[in-house]
Chains A and B, each alone.
Chain A
Amino acid sequence: MSYAIELVNITKQYNSLQVLRNVSLKVEKGDFITIIGPSGCGKTTLLNIIGGLIKPSSGEIKIFGESMKSVMSDKIAIVFQDPALFPWRNVISNVEFPLEIKGLKKSERRSIAKKYIELVGLTGFENYYPNQLSGGMQHRVSIARALASGAEILLMDEPFVALDEQSRFALGQELLKIWENTGKTILFITHNISEAVILGNKVVLMSARPSTVKEIVNVNVPRPRDPEDARIAEIRKYLWNNIKEESQKQLVSVVP
């Protein structure tokens, strides 16, 4: 069986700075994986490498068994930390953007975009411009755009980091619903441990720089999950202790 994402010994070197060292990871189709690690450990770099925006120094990336060579895979969509909507396009035409790039006809684009706008709960806002929407709504548009692209895999780079606690939780729950309805494979970066535990089937813990996969923690807690559930709290505590350790290493390592 081939994995949705398979990383083999990914290393990334910026001059003398080694950011990633031998990162290997297998993600099954339809899985929801969260990645946490001390800040500055290269999580975003890893995501950009998987998304094809950055080339690794060495190592191999396989997407559904196919080796990816610096080519943008249309099986992958990235949801950035910033919603990164185009301010000159309204909601529906932002969602249509990936389809426009693929050269789909207008009528097809419209109907696909409408479907995903409905899925993220923004029906009625099709003609709004990004600056007329709240931060949370902008993120939903950004997710709808990624879904509309037809990608099987969503790479999410701390997508809700700029939101307040309630919106963040609510959007996380909505993302889970979307994930359950669409069966997409999601790789979700966060530095919020609670978020990582609540959302992920598995939590990938990254080490300090040069970063590698330190541990993969299974979250065997049925959904819907209660943040105050004892098992959730236990995993959170375990991760927190680990990440504290790594963060300290990271701090020490940046002092020359």
Chain B
Amino acid sequence: MNKYLPPLIFIALFLFLWQLLPSFGVVNKQVIPPLLDVINSFPELFSYNNTYIPGGFNHHLYLTLFEVAVSYIISIAVALPLGFILGYYTILRDSFEPLIYILYSIPSPLLYPAIYLIFGLGYPSKIALGILLGLFPLLINVIAGFRNLEQIYFSVALSYGANEKQIFTKIILPGIMPSLMSGLRLSLSGVFIGVIVGQILASSDGGLGWVISFTAENFAVTQMFAAILITMLLVYLLLQTFEIIERKIFYRYLRR
């Protein structure tokens, strides 16, 4: 039997129930509209003359992608070099790691009000929230990648006369790559959460999170679900791309 068949059946069943239960009044249509209603609202959602979302949906989509991209780039630009330095120099790692873990273990919502105060209600605060949630997963994974490099790899390389550059390119880089890739994936997912939650909480210029919260406040549930569906699809596709790349590259030797 095809391994994709059972999960597909359940996805189909879920979508089917989403259509059926509200249609037959088992679930209140005013709260959860049938699936087809949501899908049928897509063309209107994307048109500029959208009655529910001022300025149309596209503006919010692009703004979100912009905030996510900037947060992600900054997260990588900070976490990657920092992770390499902390991973490479064990003295630095031992000094800074406790601080990193303390910062990481603080529930991030505690810092949200402060971030709004500092960065205002526009896109800078969303970018800051994105970084807040996107930076640590990558940083911690890169450091963990270094930690998981076995000492014997270095002994082997040294015994064959490898120089520092060769040890970096032939041992360290390939050795930490699996960790680094999952760090990049977790970081992207963190950035999305930070940005969208930030938009839901308070946003002067909109964004997908803002659309979801705004339509909910106005009981435009069909539009709300449409926005949720599109957001989910977007995040899913991006993260899935990552996973496929990861699997293609690393599956052959990480398989146990």
A52 to B161, CA, bound (A): 10
Q: Are B170 and A97 in contact (CB under 8 A)?
A: yes
Q: How near does chain A come to B98, taking the closest CB pair, in angstroms?
A: 29
Q: How near does chain B come to A177, taking the closest CB pair, in angstroms?
A: 24
Q: How near does chain A come to B61, taking the closest CB pair, in angstroms?
A: 38
Q: Are A80 and B156 in contact (CB under 8 A)?
A: yes
Look across to chain B and name the residue whose beta carbon is closest to the beta carbon of A85. Answer: B156
Q: Are A72 and B156 in contact (CB under 8 A)?
A: no
Most chain A beta-carbon contacts within 10 A, residue among B160, B162, B170, B177? B160
Q: Are B253 and A101 in contact (CB under 8 A)?
A: no
Q: Are A77 and B170 in contact (CB under 8 A)?
A: no
Q: Are B177 and A88 in contact (CB under 8 A)?
A: yes
Query: Given that A87-B253, A88-B174 are known contacts, is A102 also in contact with B161, CB under 8 Å in the complex?
Result: yes
Q: How near does chain B come to A104, taking the closest CB pair, in angstroms?
A: 12
Instruction: Render B245-256 as a binary contact track against A, CB cut-off 8 A, 1 for contact.
Output: 000000011111
A76 to B160, CA, bound (A): 8
Q: How near does chain A come to B182, taking the closest CB pair, in angstroms?
A: 15
Give the chain B neighbours of A76 by CB distance below 8 A.
159
A27 to B21, CA, bound (A): 85
Within 8 A of B (CB), among A88-128: 88-89, 97-98, 100-102
Give the chain B neighbours of A98 by CB distance below 8 A.
160-161
Asked if B153 is at the interface of the complex by the 8 Å CB criterion, the answer is: yes
Q: Are A53 and B159 in contact (CB under 8 A)?
A: yes
Most chain B beta-carbon contacts within 10 A, residue among A52, A74, A84, A89? A84
Most chain B beta-carbon contacts within 10 A, residue among A51, A78, A86? A86
Query: Given that A51-B159, A72-B158, A149-B160 are known contacts, is A84 also in contact with B256, CB under 8 Å in the complex?
Result: no
Q: Are A88 and B152 in contact (CB under 8 A)?
A: no
Asked if B166 is at the interface of the complex by the 8 Å CB criterion, the answer is: yes
Look across to chain A and name the residue whose beta carbon is closest to the beta carbon of B167. Answer: A101
A87 to B170, CA, bound (A): 12
Within 8 A of A (CB), among B144-173: 150, 152-153, 155-162, 166, 170-171
Query: Of the candidates A88, A100, A101, A131, which one forms a contact with B256 in the assembled complex, judged by CB atoms under 8 Å apart?
Result: A131
Asked if A130 is at the interface of the complex by the 8 Å CB criterion, the answer is: yes
Q: Are A77 and B160 in contact (CB under 8 A)?
A: yes
Give the chain A neighbours of B161 by CB distance below 8 A.
72, 74, 98, 101-102
Q: Are B155 and A80 in contact (CB under 8 A)?
A: yes
Most chain A beta-carbon contacts within 10 A, residue among B150, B155, B254? B155
Asked if A3 is at the interface of the complex by the 8 Å CB criterion, the answer is: no
Look across to chain B and name the residue whose beta carbon is closest to the beta carbon of A86. Answer: B153
Q: How near does chain B come to A135, taking the closest CB pair, in angstroms?
A: 14
Asked if B56 is at the interface of the complex by the 8 Å CB criterion, the answer is: no
Instruction: Render B232-256 as a binary contact track against A, CB cut-off 8 A, 1 for contact.
Output: 0000000000000000000011111
Q: Are B160 and A53 in contact (CB under 8 A)?
A: no
Asked if B124 is at the interface of the complex by the 8 Å CB criterion, the answer is: no
Asked if A60 is at the interface of the complex by the 8 Å CB criterion, the answer is: no
Q: How near does chain B come to A203, taking the closest CB pair, in angstroms?
A: 25
Look across to chain B and name the residue whose beta carbon is closest to the beta carbon of A149. Answer: B160
Q: Are B166 and A80 in contact (CB under 8 A)?
A: no
A117 to B174, CA, bound (A): 23
Asked if A82 is at the interface of the complex by the 8 Å CB criterion, the answer is: yes
Asked if A64 is at the interface of the complex by the 8 Å CB criterion, the answer is: no
Q: Are A131 and B155 in contact (CB under 8 A)?
A: no
Query: Of the candidates B152, B174, B254, which one forms a contact with A82 in the assembled complex, judged by CB atoms under 8 Å apart?
Result: B152
Asked if A129 is at the interface of the complex by the 8 Å CB criterion, the answer is: yes
Query: Of the candidates A72, A101, A130, which one forms a contact with B166 in the assembled complex, judged by CB atoms under 8 Å apart?
Result: A101
Give the chain B neighbours of A72 by CB distance below 8 A.
158-161
Query: Of the candidates A78, A89, A130, which one forms a contact with B159 in the assembled complex, judged by CB atoms under 8 Å apart?
Result: A78
Give the chain B neighbours of A89 by CB distance below 8 A.
174
A131 to B159, CA, bound (A): 23
Asked if B22 is at the interface of the complex by the 8 Å CB criterion, the answer is: no
Look across to chain A and name the residue whose beta carbon is closest to the beta carbon of B152. Answer: A84
Query: Of the candidates B152, B160, B253, which one forms a contact with A129 in the assembled complex, judged by CB atoms under 8 Å apart?
Result: B253
A positions within 8 Å CB-CB of B: 51-53, 72, 74, 76-78, 80, 82, 84, 86-89, 97-98, 100-102, 129-131, 149
- Contacts A101-B162, A129-B252 supplied; 11 other A-B pairs, CB < 8 Å: A72-B159, A72-B161, A76-B159, A77-B159, A84-B156, A86-B153, A86-B171, A87-B253, A97-B156, A97-B157, A101-B170
20 A-B pairs in the complex with CB atoms less than 8 angstroms apart: A53-B159, A72-B159, A72-B161, A74-B161, A77-B159, A77-B160, A80-B152, A80-B155, A80-B156, A82-B152, A84-B152, A84-B155, A88-B175, A88-B253, A89-B174, A100-B170, A101-B160, A129-B252, A130-B253, A131-B253
B positions within 8 Å CB-CB of A: 150, 152-153, 155-162, 166, 170-171, 174-175, 177, 252-256
